[in-house]
């Protein structure tokens, strides 16, 4: 073995821990850069207001699963989400003291997160969704009509404006506003007449999401 080969191998042996450490740092950095990409799950709870009908404040309980595609363009990142939403409130109009209103809906949402800096922790976002839901009225009176008791399945859409806070690379909490509008619900009242009910609502929500 020549002295040159010995020195060369000796240098390699000497710097092997440093090379390993540098490799580990590079892998960790790459993982962190992509930590926000991938599948995620979460849930939210919200307070619901319905300006079209005479309802008390209601509640929204939702769970969702989605996929974050990472950065799209220079302004932020894109994600899609499947939301399963349940809402319920009680009408307080004449003759409807014991009535109830509920929604069971599924929405496909698309969001754009304005995380313009890689290390941003406060992330505003906007979203749009389209969905289908079962709208149910129990012992509800609209205007001078007879009592309504029934359900209908209709299409709807929602617009979303929110702000998220990145607690860790994997965990995000958020607050948002959602405006939801449904097709008119077609029902038959107690007298046998057909009734068309317009239904739009607003909600303020708090939630959390975990990215895998």
Question: Would you write out the chain's pLDDT as a tens digit for each of its 212 residues?
Answer: 554 443 344 444 444 554 455 444 443 333 333 445 899 999 999 999 987 666 777 899 999 999 999 888 778 899 999 999 999 987 665 554 457 889 999 999 999 999 878 788 999 999 999 999 999 988 777 565 567 888 999 999 999 999 999 999 899 999 999 999 999 999 888 788 888 888 899 999 999 999 99
Q: Which of 157, 82, 159, 169 is nearest to 123 (CA)?
A: 169
pTM over 0.95: no
């Amino acid at each position: 073995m020549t002295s040159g080969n010995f020195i060369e191998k000796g240098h390699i042996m000497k710097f092997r821990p440093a090379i390993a450490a540098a490799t580990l740092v590079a892998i960790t950095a790459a993982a962190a850069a992509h930590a926000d990409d991938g599948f995620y799950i979460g849930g939210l709870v919200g307070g619901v207001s319905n300006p079209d009908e005479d309802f008390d404040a209601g509640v929204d309980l939702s769970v969702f699963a989605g996929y974050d595609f990472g950065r799209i363009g220079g302004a932020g990142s894109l994600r899609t989400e499947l939301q399963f939403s349940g809402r319920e409130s009680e009408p307080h109009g004449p003759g409807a003291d014991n009535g109830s209103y509920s929604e069971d809906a599924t929405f496909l949402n698309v969001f754009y997160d304005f995380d313009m800096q890689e290390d941003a922790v406060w992330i505003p976002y906007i979203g749009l969704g389209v969905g289908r839901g079962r709208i149910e009225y129990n012992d509800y009176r609209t205007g001078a009509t007879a009592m309504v008791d029934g359900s209908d399945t209709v299409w709807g859409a929602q617009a979303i404006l929110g702000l998220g806070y990145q607690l860790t690379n994997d965990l995000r909490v958020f607050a948002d506003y959602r405006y939801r509008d449904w097709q008119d619900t077609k029902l038959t009242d107690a007298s046998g007449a057909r009734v068309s009910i317009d239904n739009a609502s607003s909600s303020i929500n708090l939630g959390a999401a975990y990215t895998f």
